[in-house]
C-alpha cells in the first residue's frame, strides 16, 4: 500500500466526472488535517479543538493540560476574553457557536478546585531572564520560560502582580479569588516576583542582575487626555486612576451624578463601577452612535440594564463648574461623526475620562538600537526582539489590539523566541494548515443543539462587586464540548469506513484513525462525500510521499 499527497481539490470544484473510478481512476482519497477556524482566531494560539474533544470525553484534566500548554490562565480567560474563536465558529451556520469560553472557564475553575499543577517540561538551561512588568503578557512569558527550564524574575512597579487584570477589570467581571489563584500557580512554579520595583534603567538591571535576556511587557496604564476649555481639574478624573483607586481601597470621592467621556469597554466598566461606589446616576457621553462604538455590544447592554444612561452622538465642548456644554453630532456618509452646530447642557458633579490608554516607554528611549513608532510603542522584529540585542518586548508595548488574550499570546510567542535565542536554536514556527470553512463541511446529519446559556446575577442584585456571569454546571459544559464539529480533523465517526463499497478503509483502533488500501480503492469518493468534517480530500493520483 502506498500513501499519496498532492494539492487538495476544493469541494466545489469536484464532480463525479473528475473523480474517475476502476481502471480509469484519476483521483484517490487521502486523510488530511485542516485548521479549524476557532484555533486560527485564538490570539493565544490555543488548540481549542483538541481540548474540546478531550473535555467531550470527560477527560477534564487532560483537556486542561492541553489548554495550558498555550494559555496558563484559563479561569481568567474564560471570563474576560472576548472569544473571537466563537465569532469564527462554523457551528454558527447551524444554530449558534460552541460556548468555547464557558468550557474554558469550567476547566480553569475545576483545575483550581482540584489543585492541578503544570509540569516543567524543559531541561534546565542555567539561563536567567528578567521580565519587566507583571501583567498578563509578563506572566505568560514567565510561565512558558519556566516550563522551558529557565529561571525567571519579574520586576513589577505595582503593589501586586496582574497589572490591568487587577486595575482595569472590575471584580464583577473577574473575581479576585480566581485571579489571584491563577497568578499564584505561576509564581509557585519558581518565578520570583519583586513588587513595587519600577525599572528605570533596563540595561543596568540586566547587567547587575546577571540576566541573559529581558522581556519588557509594561501595560498601557497612562490615560489619554483631551483639551476641554475651562475645565475644573479637581472635578476631572481619568478612568485608569479611578479604577485603580477602587481596587486599592483609595477611590476618589465622587458626587451624586457622574459623567464618563468615552465609548469603549473601559467607559462601561467605569460607569458601572461608579454606580456601585455610590453614584446615584452615571452618564456616558460618546461622540459616535452605538453601532460604531469600540465597546462590545454586550458591555453596553449590561450597562443599560444596570441603569447607566448613554448619550450617543455627543461631544463635550466646555465645562463650567457642574455644567457641560455638549455638541450634538451626526454620522456622515463616511461613517464618521460630524458637527451639527446644535448644543445641549448636561449637569454632573464629576467627569471621568475614558478615552483610551498608552504605554510609558520613555525609560527605553536612551537604549542603543531601540526604535519607536509615533505613538511611543516599540519596534520589534518577527522574533519579538527590539533593536537592542537580547531585549524583547510584547503586549501593550508593541502595536496591536490591546486585550488580555493578545497580551498572553505575545508572552507565549516571546518565550519561544527567547528560549531559541538562549539555546542558540532559533525557534521557527511551523506552517499553518489551510483553514476549513463551513462551506467545506458535509453536515449530512445536521443536528440542532442550541448553546447552553450561563446564568446571570439578577439585575436588582447588581449593587456590589459580586460576579455577574456564572459558570456552566458539569452537565452543560460536557454538552457544549460535544457540540464541536471537529472541523477539518477526523473524529473517527466511521462515516468513511461504513460507506466504502470496496472495503478499502482499514480501522487502526481507537485514537489511531484509519488508512486506505489503495489496491482496493476505486476513487469513487463516497468516503469523501460522507466525511462530515472534511478530514478527507480527493487528490490527483501518482504523487507519492
Q: What is the 3-state secondary structure (H, E, C) of 318-352?
A: EEECCEEEEEEEEECCCCCEEEEEEEEEEECCEEE
Tens digits of residue pLDDT in 357-378: 888 888 999 899 999 998 889 9
Distance CA 167, CA 262 (A): 18
Of 17-21, 55-59, 129-133, 149-153, the one with minimum mean pLDDT is 17-21
Of 15-24, 86-95, 424-433, the one with minimum mean pLDDT is 15-24
- pLDDT at residue 81, as a whole number: 96
**What are the phi and psi torsion angles at 372 (to 5°)?**
-135, 150
Question: Once rounded to an integer, what is the mean pLDDT over residues 57-82?
Answer: 97
Of 3-7, 27-31, 132-136, 472-476, the one with minimum mean pLDDT is 3-7
Tens digits of residue pLDDT in 200-237: 999 999 999 999 999 999 988 888 888 777 655 558 89
Q: Is the pLDDT of residue 17 over 90?
A: no
- pLDDT at residue 231, as a whole number: 56
Distance CA 415, CA 122 (A): 13
Q: Is the pLDDT of residue 4 over 50?
A: no
Residue 285, SS3?
strand
**What are the phi and psi torsion angles at 391 (to 5°)?**
-110, 120
- pLDDT at residue 447, as a whole number: 73
What proportions of the chain, in percent to the nearest 5, are helix, strand and coil? 35, 20, 50
- pLDDT at residue 234, as a whole number: 54
Q: Is the pLDDT of residue 24 over 80?
A: no
**What are the phi and psi torsion angles at 261 (to 5°)?**
-105, 110
- Please answer whether residues 488 and 433 qualify as being in contact, where contact means their C-beta atoms are separated by less than 8 angstroms: yes
Question: Once rounded to an integer, what is the mean pLDDT over residues 4-15?
Answer: 42
Owner of C-alpha cell 493565544? 44
Q: Is the pLDDT of residue 50 over 80?
A: yes
- Please answer whether residues 517 and 504 qualify as being in contact, where contact means their C-beta atoms are separated by less than 8 angstroms: yes
- Please answer whether residues 503 and 456 qualify as being in contact, where contact means their C-beta atoms are separated by less than 8 angstroms: no
Per DSSP, the residues of 423-479 read: TT----PPPPPPB--GGG---SS----PPPPPPB--GGGTTSS--SBPPPPHHHHHH
Question: Once rounded to an integer, what is the mean pLDDT over residues 166-174?
Answer: 95
- Please answer whether residues 440 and 11 qualify as being in contact, where contact means their C-beta atoms are separated by less than 8 angstroms: yes
Sign of the C-alpha dihedral computed for residues 282, 283, 289 and 294 taken in this order: negative
Q: pLDDT confidence of 82, banded at 50, 70, 90?
A: very high
Tens digits of residue pLDDT in 489-530: 999 999 999 999 999 999 999 999 999 999 999 999 999 999
Q: pLDDT confidence of 333, banded at 50, 70, 90?
A: confident
Owner of C-alpha cell 479637581? 234
Q: pLDDT confidence of 321, banded at 50, 70, 90?
A: confident
- pLDDT at residue 543, as a whole number: 56
What own/partner pairs with CB < 8 Å and gap ≥ 24 does 380-386 have?
A: 383/417, 383/420, 383/421, 383/426, 383/427, 384/410, 384/413, 384/414, 384/417, 384/418, 385/417, 385/421, 386/216
Torsion of CA 43, 47, 51, 54, to 10 degrees: 170
Question: Once rounded to an integer, what is the mean pLDDT over residues 247-261?
Answer: 93
Q: Is the pLDDT of residue 11 over 70?
A: no
CA angle 146/151/157 to nearest 5° reads 95
Q: What's the mean pLDDT when you consider all of the chain?
A: 91
User: What structural domains does the chain harbor?
Assistant: 11-33+489-540 (3.30.70.20), 41-118+443-482 (no CATH), 128-222+361-422 (3.50.50.60), 223-357 (3.50.50.60)
CA 195 to chain centre: 26
Nearest C-alpha neighbor of 83 from the set 95, 94, 71, 65: 71
Sign of the C-alpha dihedral computed for residues 69, 72, 76 and 81 taken in this order: negative
Of 11-15, 191-195, 384-388, 484-488, the one with minimum mean pLDDT is 11-15
Of 153-167, 188-202, 442-456, the one with minimum mean pLDDT is 442-456
Q: Is the pLDDT of residue 13 over 80?
A: no
From residue 47, alpha-carbon distances to 39, 164, 439, 440 in Å are 6, 26, 22, 20
- pLDDT at residue 227, as a whole number: 77
Q: Is the pLDDT of residue 144 over 60?
A: yes
Q: Which string of b and e fits 442-473 if b means at least 16 CB within 10 Å?
A: beeeeeeeebbebeeeeeeebeebebbbebbe
Tens digits of residue pLDDT in 436-462: 999 999 987 667 888 999 999 999 999
How much is the pTM?
A: 0.91
Distance CA 70, CA 43 (A): 10
Q: pLDDT confidence of 23, banded at 50, 70, 90?
A: low
Question: Once rounded to an integer, what is the mean pLDDT over residues 417-441?
Answer: 94
Q: Is the pLDDT of residue 267 over 90?
A: yes
First to last CA, the chain: 12
- pLDDT at residue 48, as a whole number: 98
Do β-strands 514-516 and 505-507 pair in parallel, antiparallel, or remain unpaired?
A: antiparallel
Question: Once rounded to an integer, what is the mean pLDDT over residues 89-118?
Answer: 97
- pLDDT at residue 149, as a whole number: 96
Contacts of 15 (CB under 8 A, 6+ apart): none
Q: Is the pLDDT of residue 56 over 90?
A: yes
Nearest C-alpha neighbor of 481 from the set 4, 57, 37, 108: 57
**What percent of the chain lies above the pLDDT cut of 90?**
82
- pLDDT at residue 9, as a whole number: 43
- Could you tell me the three cell numbers for 491? 473524529
Question: Once rounded to an integer, what is the mean pLDDT over residues 92-104?
Answer: 96
- pLDDT at residue 232, as a whole number: 56
SS (H, E, C) 131-191: EECCCHHHHHHHHHHHHCCCEEEEECCCCCCCCHHHHCCCCCCCCHHHHHHHHHHHHCCCC
**What percent of the chain lies above the pLDDT cut of 70?**
94
What own/partner pairs with CB < 8 Å and gap ≥ 24 does 179-188 have?
A: 179/76, 181/75, 181/112, 182/72, 182/73, 182/74, 182/75, 182/76, 182/108, 182/112, 183/73, 183/139, 185/72, 185/117, 185/118, 186/72, 186/73, 186/139, 186/142, 186/143, 186/146, 187/161, 188/117
Distance CA 527, CA 508 (A): 16
- pLDDT at residue 219, as a whole number: 86
- Please answer whether residues 383 and 367 qualify as being in contact, where contact means their C-beta atoms are separated by less than 8 angstroms: no
Amino acid at each position: 500500500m502506498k500513501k499519496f499527497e498532492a494539492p487538495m481539490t476544493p469541494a466545489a470544484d469536484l464532480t463525479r466526472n473528475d473523480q474517475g473510478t476502476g481502471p480509469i481512476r484519476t483521483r484517490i482519497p487521502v486523510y488530511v488535517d485542516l485548521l479549524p477556524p476557532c484555533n486560527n482566531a485564538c490570539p493565544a494560539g490555543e488548540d481549542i479543538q483538541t481540548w474540546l474533544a478531550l473535555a467531550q470525553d470527560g477527560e477534564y484534566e487532560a483537556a486542561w493540560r492541553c489548554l495550558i500548554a498555550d494559555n496558563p490562565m484559563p479561569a481568567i480567560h474564560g471570563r474576560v476574553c472576548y472569544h473571537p474563536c466563537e465569532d469564527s465558529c462554523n457551528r454558527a451556520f447551524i444554530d449558534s457557536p460552541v460556548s468555547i469560553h464557558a468550557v474554558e472557564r469550567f476547566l480553569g475553575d475545576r483545575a483550581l478546585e482540584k489543585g492541578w499543577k503544570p509540569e516543567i517540561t524543559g531541561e534546565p538551561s542555567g539561563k536567567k531572564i528578567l521580565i519587566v512588568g507583571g501583567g498578563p503578557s509578563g506572566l505568560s512569558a514567565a510561565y512558558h520560560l519556566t516550563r522551558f527550564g529557565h529561571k525567571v524574575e519579574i520586576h513589577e512597579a505595582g503593589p501586586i502582580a496582574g497589572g490591568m487584570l487587577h486595575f482595569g477589570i472590575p471584580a464583577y467581571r473577574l473575581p479576585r479569588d480566581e485571579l489571584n489563584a491563577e497568578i499564584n500557580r505561576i509564581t509557585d512554579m519558581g518565578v520570583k516576583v519583586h513588587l513595587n520595583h519600577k525599572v528605570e534603567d533596563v540595561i543596568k538591571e540586566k547587567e547587575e542582575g546577571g540576566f541573559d535576556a529581558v522581556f519588557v511587557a509594561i501595560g498601557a496604564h497612562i490615560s489619554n487626555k483631551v483639551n476641554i476649555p475651562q475645565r475644573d481639574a479637581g472635578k476631572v478624573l481619568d478612568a485608569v486612576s479611578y479604577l485603580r483607586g477602587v481596587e486599592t481601597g483609595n477611590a476618589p470621592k465622587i458626587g451624586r451624578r457622574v459623567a464618563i467621556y468615552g465609548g469603549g469597554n473601559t467607559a462601561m466598566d467605569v460607569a458601572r463601577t461608579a454606580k456601585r461606589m455610590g453614584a446615584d446616576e452615571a452618564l456616558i457621553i460618546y461622540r459616535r452612535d452605538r453601532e460604531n462604538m469600540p465597546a462590545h455590544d454586550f458591555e453596553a447592554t449590561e450597562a443599560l440594564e444596570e441603569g447607566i444612561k448613554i448619550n450617543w452622538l455627543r461631544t463635550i465642548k466646555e465645562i463650567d463648574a457642574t455644567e457641560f456644554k455638549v455638541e450634538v453630532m451626526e454620522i456622515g456618509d463616511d461613517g464618521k461623526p460630524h458637527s451639527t452646530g446644535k448644543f445641549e447642557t448636561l449637569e454632573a458633579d464629576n467627569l471621568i475620562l475614558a478615552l483610551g490608554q498608552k504605554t510609558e516607554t520613555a525609560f527605553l528611549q536612551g537604549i542603543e538600537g531601540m526604535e519607536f513608532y509615533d505613538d511611543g510603542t516599540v519596534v520589534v522584529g518577527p522574533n519579538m526582539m527590539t533593536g537592542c540585542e537580547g531585549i524583547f518586548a510584547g503586549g501593550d508595548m508593541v502595536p496591536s489590539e490591546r486585550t488580555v488574550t493578545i497580551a498572553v499570546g505575545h508572552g507565549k510567542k516571546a518565550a519561544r523566541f527567547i528560549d531559541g535565542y538562549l539555546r542558540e536554536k532559533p525557534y521557527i514556527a511551523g506552517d499553518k494548515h489551510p483553514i476549513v470553512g463551513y462551506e467545506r463541511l458535509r453536515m449530512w446529519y445536521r443536528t440542532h443543539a442550541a448553546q447552553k446559556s450561563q446564568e446571570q446575577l439578577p439585575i436588582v442584585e447588581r449593587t456590589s462587586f459580586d460576579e455577574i456571569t456564572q459558570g456552566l454546571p458539569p452537565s452543560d459544559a460536557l454538552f457544549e464540548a460535544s457540540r464541536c464539529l471537529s472541523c477539518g480533523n477526523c473524529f473517527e465517526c466511521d462515516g468513511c469506513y461504513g460507506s466504502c463499497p470496496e472495503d478499502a478503509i482499514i480501522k487502526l483502533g481507537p485514537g489511531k484513525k484509519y488508512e486506505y488500501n489503495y489496491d482496493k480503492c476505486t476513487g469513487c469518493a463516497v468516503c469523501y462525500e460522507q466525511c462530515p468534517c472534511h478530514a478527507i480530500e480527493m487528490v490527483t493520483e501518482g504523487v507519492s510521499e
